[in-house]
Amino acid sequence: MSVIKLTVVGGGSSYTPELIEGILKNQDILNVSEIWLVDVKEGEEKLAIIEKLANRMVKESHTSIKIVATLNRREAIKDASYVITQIRVGQLKMRKYDEYISIKHGVIGQETTGAGGFMKALRTIPVILDICKDIEELAPDAWLLNFTNPAGIITEAVLKHSSVKVIGLCNNPINFYKKFADIYHVPIEEVSINFTGINHLIWITGLFINGESKIDDILTGKSQSYEAKNIPDFGWDVDFLQSLGAIPCGYHKYYYQTDKILKEQLEQYKENKTRADQVQEIEKGLFELFKNPDLTHKPKELDQRGGAFYSEAAINLICSLHLNTGNIHTLNVRNNGTIACLPDNVSIEVNCVVEKHQVTPMLVGDVSPQIRGLLQHVKAYEELTIEAAVKGSWNLAFQALAMHPLLPSTDVAKKVLNEMLEVNEHYLPAFH
Amino acid sequence: MSVIKLTVVGGGSSYTPELIEGILKNQDILNVSEIWLVDVKEGEEKLAIIEKLANRMVKESHTSIKIVATLNRREAIKDASYVITQIRVGQLKMRKYDEYISIKHGVIGQETTGAGGFMKALRTIPVILDICKDIEELAPDAWLLNFTNPAGIITEAVLKHSSVKVIGLCNNPINFYKKFADIYHVPIEEVSINFTGINHLIWITGLFINGESKIDDILTGKSQSYEAKNIPDFGWDVDFLQSLGAIPCGYHKYYYQTDKILKEQLEQYKENKTRADQVQEIEKGLFELFKNPDLTHKPKELDQRGGAFYSEAAINLICSLHLNTGNIHTLNVRNNGTIACLPDNVSIEVNCVVEKHQVTPMLVGDVSPQIRGLLQHVKAYEELTIEAAVKGSWNLAFQALAMHPLLPSTDVAKKVLNEMLEVNEHYLPAFH
Amino acid sequence: MSVIKLTVVGGGSSYTPELIEGILKNQDILNVSEIWLVDVKEGEEKLAIIEKLANRMVKESHTSIKIVATLNRREAIKDASYVITQIRVGQLKMRKYDEYISIKHGVIGQETTGAGGFMKALRTIPVILDICKDIEELAPDAWLLNFTNPAGIITEAVLKHSSVKVIGLCNNPINFYKKFADIYHVPIEEVSINFTGINHLIWITGLFINGESKIDDILTGKSQSYEAKNIPDFGWDVDFLQSLGAIPCGYHKYYYQTDKILKEQLEQYKENKTRADQVQEIEKGLFELFKNPDLTHKPKELDQRGGAFYSEAAINLICSLHLNTGNIHTLNVRNNGTIACLPDNVSIEVNCVVEKHQVTPMLVGDVSPQIRGLLQHVKAYEELTIEAAVKGSWNLAFQALAMHPLLPSTDVAKKVLNEMLEVNEHYLPAFH
Amino acid sequence: MSVIKLTVVGGGSSYTPELIEGILKNQDILNVSEIWLVDVKEGEEKLAIIEKLANRMVKESHTSIKIVATLNRREAIKDASYVITQIRVGQLKMRKYDEYISIKHGVIGQETTGAGGFMKALRTIPVILDICKDIEELAPDAWLLNFTNPAGIITEAVLKHSSVKVIGLCNNPINFYKKFADIYHVPIEEVSINFTGINHLIWITGLFINGESKIDDILTGKSQSYEAKNIPDFGWDVDFLQSLGAIPCGYHKYYYQTDKILKEQLEQYKENKTRADQVQEIEKGLFELFKNPDLTHKPKELDQRGGAFYSEAAINLICSLHLNTGNIHTLNVRNNGTIACLPDNVSIEVNCVVEKHQVTPMLVGDVSPQIRGLLQHVKAYEELTIEAAVKGSWNLAFQALAMHPLLPSTDVAKKVLNEMLEVNEHYLPAFH
């Protein structure tokens, strides 16, 4: 078994300590030799804090992993075995704009869904493709695990415009597994879930506990599904779930309960307290904790941050890849016919068999019309968004946003787009 | 050439005089022997008025067509060469409910698009399939020309649940041809239009005048496209048209300009003056005119009614079928792969080559993502609507309406659905 | 874990002792309670021999499995957990006709490929569908594991014309795994093979030993692939393998080396010594051995029979199903888009993830044109064969055979067909 | 209406006089101003003969078309309205090798089907793509009408590797129309034929005379179909036709009656008298006639040459394009989903609506398995052939030939290939 050089792009992120913790837990089977944490100039200070914490954690664990923190991305990527991207172009400051401009025009403002996710994608795609050029040149055999949101769109951009071996990863699926294992008091291995969809728009069409179907428990409201903490929770209408015949994920609420959520967001907006504001505050607190020279493990306050089990999902995946286990993970990969109603070249989020040399999706086939309409609509929006970002095309960007189901008209889409482009000017050289 | 027995189901409709006029104009090539006008008991009075007017028109034209008005549908259908369906189940009274219940809950109220069209489909599908059983038995070789709205959904219901040779017909396409012939001062034969889409959601992706592309004239606002009189007209944003790269039809405004139209509808609703109210008034006036024993031709006031050139489209189609011309008509037919991104078994509205023995769609292939997302979304809604109607399933009806892009949430969809089902109880035996 | 009732249709087959042996080996994890061996009147004598041997084997193993031998198929199937079908309609006598009539007309004569397999399918399909009716009624939750050849066609017939949960099984894949594990001195778990194709026409497009690609070793002739003992072996042209870019299975030789094999078969035919003759002799010898009251285990002479590791493949599969392992098996299942160039409703042979409640194919996607042409041609032949058998249609049977790539003309196809139908008259009531 | 510059690449062909005749007949509606005949150095002498004959024909017709004969291809192509390619790379000399090498190894030897067509394609594709580069640069708006055989493969090569607006043309379809018009004593406009397939492998699935189905007349042998003079005619087995449910074209016989035709070819081969020999003799005689200074029209002996009505088909097509008629022609175009079971990017031969600005295929959809298997098999061979020619890949060439249904084994394919490549060395620079 070869040794591992693991590179984390966006290494100064508050998520990194959890990732380090996950590696340390599995170091006996993974045998990681080096972890490179790379970040941009603006993140230098945070990176230094994380570096020190990481070194304290390694020391505490009595392992011998070398931690390298650097602003030199090419050096960090060179000969990496795995590259993890968890970047936030424009930091939380730009996320705040994404949310505020949306809500101001009466449109859902959200980090990954709708106008907010659209703008985040426009900012992020040029950067991720630039990173991929480095990987193509300096670590062509590396697997790229992309966490960066909107993870489905970002992964698809890489699939379409790069030769890098990319896998998109989200914490939604692992949370469902954990939730159902918890409900049914079984180990996670006895939970089998059939997922259908795309990142942050994923339906559960089958739930089996050790071979026995349990989905009706959820559809009838007998048991509760997993609900992400960062998404408003007004509960599900049981009639709706039963007629849908599938369990939606949390992000579906932005489509299925648009009116209620928008109302709540408008109130938060008035009080200057949207999700972006909350996260900024949490982050500040976390880094204060991270600075503590006595801290030698991930602080429990990190759980508030959202993204629960992200790093567990990532470490599990790296283990399966590295040990060639053939285990099943729910991942963002090229469709290629797996979901019959979507184009071949788009990213989807489905169960995959993970081997060292390949990640193979398990067939989904046809999906019900209940699922199909919204799924196809949002995917077409995603395709346009990627094309707009890559070409720097205002026309395509306008069409992408105008056709998104959460935009009430082309007029509103145009206003939102133009205001967003203005404040993001610095991040969008291709649009000039 | 065999003689023609033409049967009009919904013969008491105010559209019938125009149809009669069209036949009379082409009688030298068509040689129609009998026109059967059949209607239901509730329409008996109107049918009698139309019958008399039709007889006066025939007499005036010095042709020898036999007009038969009857409530006996089976007799009317027996051995028909062509059956035309232009029925309105529940009459204008129920249309009013369709519109009012929608708007009351903040949802676009429209005869064919959204919640209104959904409810009209639920009422109409059982009746049309019943008519088709008669055709299967009594006139299996007849072509069924369906005008009944929502024409795409109704045609698809017949394609899926009957062996009748059905063609769905709308006046949208012929109006585009006439408009462009008019703009460019050419005969209609020199206008070539590439249509892509489904009934009332059809995009023009190519416009050629005698082989020369003219679509940019419309996309840049240099010339105006056709706008139906019965749809609000706030004009098109030229930036939007250019980035779309295609000319939308009037019904697209319900999706692209939802906010403005809804605002207008809410005002009309408060004043008790929606489109249903307007049409009821127009209808009343028309039948007063029709009663005039001196009237021997279609009155020009009929043009106000909407549906301009419907009957011209129908007569042109019958001529092409009967004379085996191989001409091109824009029709609602089974997709079968014509539009690559839609299922095989759904109805689409595209250019077709019309021969006596077959109607063959001309290939469309892939459509741009700008068009694809909305098209697929609405089509999935249509499929669910048909399945709900055929099975009498509340669950499927709820899903159909909940997933429609114009509904703001599943909660609103549920309220609208339940109120609509209540007032339509009489028309929906399968739902009991 | 529930107890297992295992039913073997064709229980009097010479393969049964190996199956019993496999169960006994895994009895600690499987906990089989009853094995029912059912056969037809003509097989009564053999069944009795097998029954006794099975009982001796069970006794020797100190387990408590109950063996029941019966001619009452319905009783045997009732409440079965797993049904295994390994029948040979018309016994080896009819196989001899299949081979002789083919070769006589200058056509490859083979048990599963070409005219021979075609005739075996026509005889077998009505019987298997009859068995499936019993399963639908008496054991609707049972998994049917079909070994009966031509396994791909028989499995497809069940998929298309029954609701039984069927899995088709062949020993080709397991032999490849064993061969490559042997070559590379690794346990079978470290061998990963990408299979593409249909039963007895399966290509290996990827071979990995613990994540490292090894296919070039085979394509360049550095190592040998698995070659079935019952197929002539003239070796592979290395230029051919390299330009194919995939490893063919043994049955490909009937297509790729038709001239040589046909020449050999014509010689065997003249000497009255085709494969059918050889097998008849082997069978006779085996049953003599089986009668020996001192025999308490599978005799090693069984290996000569062909079908090596059939029962191991079957027992492995039952273990995965019963224990819900999520392991990968190479199985015959409904395509459903797994192989992009084949229809949805046909059977294919690909890697599948096996869980207690479902068997899910792993995506294959597009295949190279080198593979595609022959694969599609043979599959179309298979579809016609099934339709011919189900409808009892001479026309479809003629077309199936005439279009098979191994038939030199429609004239020869007609002669072969008519002679075969004549001697098989008794087995084809639907054709009368 | 703009004036026409018509360029004939391969202008020295014996077909040219018929083409000139066709243009002269339609000159009142076409108004051709210049016809450029261009050929290669080896064809200089023939070109001079044709030039003189063409000038005599124009003079006789009292029109004013300018005839230009030249070896300067670029000048000939510059600003052309229509380019016609009717080239024969390697002349009839190489065709003779194509046939002889095939037959010598027991393989059908034919100009367009099997090994012969394969070799002709390898020689021709580099030349046609070179011509297309000139058209792209010098006449980007020109329509390219490709007659060059194998017309389907050549057209597909252009569709895949050039941006030229290409249409492939064959005389098979027009001959069917003429034959059926003749049988039923109707003008050709009253014949409607549904074609499905690819060039020289095209099935008729529907035949209608003025709307009435007549296909059963042919399938039952009541009437005869069109049989090309240059293909052996042993008649059709009526049982075969009826079970096929479609009318095959002449070239199908090479697949359906391989044994008989091969036997005949082997005899011709022994006598040194294959089709290539016959054609060489006919050609010699024709040019003798063409030289006659008194000849001012196409000599009737030209009919012996094969290719009947080629030029009529071409002129009809040019008329439809130029006059924007919207008429239906049977043409080789990009599939794009028209025939559901074939890839999007291949050429097919189907009915198309011809307008000045576009040629749109009429939908075919699914085809029966009787047709599908062979069609897909041959198309995969064609795709490989094109890829081999473009890449100059021996491996792909070997695979293309080895997988062709008429080759009995990979061994024979290899021998045929290597002998062919040797004698064609001069024409295949990419293979060196």
User: Stretch C160-180: mean pLDDT, rounded?
Assistant: 97
CB pairs under 8 A between A and B: 119
pLDDT band at residue D30 using 50, 70 and 90 as cut-offs: very high
B-chain CB neighbours of D324 within 8 Å are 190, 192, 210-211
The C-alpha torsion from C202 through C207 and C211 to C214, rounded to 10°, is: 180
Residue from A342, A363, A364, A366 to probe the interface with C (highest C Cβ count within 10 Å): A363
Question: CA-CA distance, D359 to D167, in Å (whole number)?
Answer: 9
Instruction: Indicate yes or no: CB of C353 within 8 angstroms of CB of A358.
Output: no
Question: Cβ(A416)–Cβ(A115) under 8 Å?
Answer: yes
Instruction: Indicate yes or no: CB of B237 within 8 angstroms of CB of A410.
Output: yes
Question: CA-CA distance, B232 to A376, in Å (whole number)?
Answer: 28
Which chains neighbour A (Cβ–Cβ under 8 Å, 3 or more pairs)?
B, C
pLDDT(A1) > 60: no
pLDDT(C21) > 90: yes
The gap from C-alpha B230 to its chain's centroid, in whole angstroms, comes to 13
pLDDT(C7) > 80: yes
B-chain CB neighbours of D328 within 8 Å are 326, 353
User: Stretch A388-406: mean pLDDT, rounded?
Assistant: 98
Rounded to the nearest 10 degrees, the angle between the axes of helix D114-138 and helix D410-423 is 50
Query: What's the pLDDT at A47?
Result: 98
One of D15, D100, D177, D251 is an active-site residue; which one?
A: D251
Residue from D399, D401, D412, D417 to probe the interface with C (highest C Cβ count within 10 Å): D399
Question: CA-CA distance, C84 to C37, in Å (whole number)?
Answer: 10
- Type of residue at C172: N
pLDDT(A359) > 90: yes
CA distance B196 to chain D (A): 14
Average predicted confidence (pLDDT) for chain B: 95
Q: How many C-beta atoms surround the C-beta of residue B431 within 10 A?
A: 17
Interface of B with A in 204-243 (CB under 8 A): 237, 239-240, 242-243
Instruction: Indicate yes or no: CB of C259 within 8 angstroms of CB of D379.
Output: no
Query: What's the pLDDT at A139?
Result: 98
Query: What's the pLDDT at D303?
Result: 75
Query: What's the pLDDT at D1?
Result: 52
Q: Which of D374, D395, D414 faces C237 most closely, judged by CB atoms?
A: D414
Instruction: Indicate yes or no: CB of A408 within 8 angstroms of CB of B374.
Output: no
User: Stretch B111-129: mean pLDDT, rounded?
Assistant: 97
User: Stretch C394-406: mean pLDDT, rounded?
Assistant: 98
Instruction: Indicate yes or no: CB of C409 within 8 angstroms of CB of D373.
Output: no
Which chains neighbour D (Cβ–Cβ under 8 Å, 3 or more pairs)?
B, C
Instruction: Indicate yes or no: CB of A362 within 8 angstroms of CB of C365.
Output: no
One of B100, B251, B255, B269 is an active-site residue; which one?
A: B251
User: Stretch B20-41: mean pLDDT, rounded?
Assistant: 95
User: Stretch C139-159: mean pLDDT, rounded?
Assistant: 98
Q: Distance of CA A347 to CAs A153, B152, B369, D185, D272, Å? A: 7, 32, 15, 59, 61
CA distance B307 to chain A (A): 27
User: Stretch B126-136: mean pLDDT, rounded?
Assistant: 98
Query: What's the pLDDT at B310?
Result: 86
| DSSP code for D308 | T
Interface of C with D in 41-70 (CB under 8 A): none
The C-alpha torsion from A234 through A240 and A241 to A242, rounded to 10°, is: 150
Instruction: Indicate yes or no: CB of A358 within 8 angstroms of CB of C206.
Output: yes
Residue from C372, C375, C385, C394 to probe the interface with D (highest D Cβ count within 10 Å): C372
Which residues, in sequence order, are CB contacts of D109 under 8 Å at separation 6+?
D98, D99, D100, D101, D102, D103, D115, D116, D265, D269, D274
Question: CA-CA distance, D261 to C36, in Å (whole number)?
Answer: 56
Tokens of D141: 């708006």
Question: CA-CA distance, D183 to D187, in Å (whole number)?
Answer: 11
Q: Which of B258, B370, B399 faces A403 most closely, judged by CB atoms?
A: B370
Tell whether D344 is within 8 A of chain C (Cβ).
no
Least confident of A428-432, B23-27, C27-31, C159-163: A428-432
Rounded to the nearest 10 degrees, the angle between the axes of helix B114-138 and helix B394-403 is 130
Residue from A376, A382, A396 to probe the interface with B (highest B Cβ count within 10 Å): A376
Query: What's the pLDDT at C418?
Result: 98
Least confident of A307-316, B186-195, D408-417: A307-316
Find the distance separating the first CA and the last CA of chain D, reported in whole Å. Answer: 48
Closest CA to A84 of A28, A160, A4, A200: A4
Instruction: Indicate yes or no: CB of A374 within 8 angstroms of CB of B258.
Output: no
Does residue B304 or residue B302 have the better pLDDT?
Answer: B302
Question: Cβ(C382)–Cβ(C346) under 8 Å?
Answer: yes
Tell whether C366 is within 8 A of chain D (Cβ).
no
pLDDT(B309) > 90: no
Buried b (16+ CB within 10 A) or exposed e, D337-374: bbbbbbbeebbbbbbbbbbbbbbbbbbbbebbbbbbbb
Query: What's the pLDDT at B1?
Result: 52
Query: What's the pLDDT at C301?
Result: 80
Question: Cβ(C161)–Cβ(C129) under 8 Å?
Answer: yes
Query: What's the pLDDT at A305?
Result: 72
CA distance A240 to chain B (A): 7
Q: Which of D237, D373, D399 faces C370 most closely, judged by CB atoms?
A: D399
- Within chain C, what is the greatest distance between any pair of CA atoms? 60
Query: What's the pLDDT at D148?
Result: 96
pLDDT(C1) > 70: no
Question: CA-CA distance, A200 to A389, in Å (whole number)?
Answer: 20
User: Stretch A68-85: mean pLDDT, rounded?
Assistant: 98
Query: What's the pLDDT at B286?
Result: 93
Query: What's the pLDDT at D299?
Result: 86
Instruction: Indicate yes or no: CB of D383 within 8 angstroms of CB of C396.
Output: no
Beta bridge partners of C83: C7, C144
CA angle at residue C72 from C69 to C75, to 5 degrees?
95
Over residues D148-173, the pLDDT tens digits come to 999 999 999 999 999 999 999 999 99
Question: CA-CA distance, D283 to D264, in Å (whole number)?
Answer: 23
Query: What's the pLDDT at C145?
Result: 98
Least confident of A290-299, C322-331, D164-173: A290-299
User: Stretch C338-350: mean pLDDT, rounded?
Assistant: 98
ipTM: 0.96
Over residues B390-407, the pLDDT tens digits come to 999 999 999 999 999 999
CA distance C404 to chain D (A): 9
D-chain CB neighbours of C243 within 8 Å are 394-396, 398-399, 402
Question: CA-CA distance, A194 to A205, in Å (whole number)?
Answer: 5
Tell whether D336 is within 8 A of chain B (Cβ).
yes
Query: What's the pLDDT at D264?
Result: 96
Query: What's the pLDDT at C31?
Result: 93
Instruction: Indicate yes or no: CB of D355 within 8 angstroms of CB of B213.
Output: no
Instruction: Indicate yes or no: CB of C363 within 8 angstroms of CB of A363.
Output: yes
D-chain CB neighbours of B206 within 8 Å are 357-358
Question: CA-CA distance, B377 to C343, in Å (whole number)?
Answer: 25
Q: How many CA atoms lie within 13 A of D347 on its CB side?
A: 31
Interface of B with A in 370-389 (CB under 8 A): 370, 372-374, 376-381, 383-384, 387
Over residues B211-246, the pLDDT tens digits come to 999 999 999 999 999 998 889 889 999 999 999 999
CA distance C173 to chain D (A): 24
Query: What's the pLDDT at B218?
Result: 98
Residue in chain A closest to B341 (alpha carbons) equals A341
CA distance C322 to chain A (A): 9
Question: Cβ(A338)–Cβ(A366) under 8 Å?
Answer: no
One of C82, C97, C251, C310 is an active-site residue; which one?
A: C251
Q: What are φ and ψ of residue B187, in 5° steps?
A: -65, 155
CA distance A356 to chain C (A): 5
Query: What's the pLDDT at B230?
Result: 85
- Exposed, middle or buried, B76 (CB in 10 Å: 0-12/13-18/19+)? buried
Question: CA-CA distance, C27 to C244, in Å (whole number)?
Answer: 43
Domains of chain B: 4-168 (3.40.50.720)
Query: What's the pLDDT at D329?
Result: 98
Q: Which of A213, A337, A357 faces C211 most closely, judged by CB atoms?
A: A357
CA distance D356 to chain B (A): 5
Residue in chain C closest to D375 (alpha carbons) equals C377
Whole-number percent of chain B with pLDDT over 70 = 99
Active site residue ranges of A: 251
CA distance B345 to chain A (A): 13
Q: Which of D324, D328, D337 faces B340 most closely, judged by CB atoms?
A: D337
Query: What's the pLDDT at B305?
Result: 72
Beta bridge partners of B66: B34
D-chain CB neighbours of B363 within 8 Å are 336-338, 360-363
pLDDT band at residue C226 using 50, 70 and 90 as cut-offs: very high
- Looking only at the bridges linking them, the beta strands covering A359-361 and A347-354 are antiparallel
Within C207-350, residue ranges assigned H as helices are 215-219, 238-244, 253-256, 258-270, 275-291, 310-323
Tell whether A345 is within 8 A of chain C (Cβ).
no
D-chain CB neighbours of B344 within 8 Å are 365
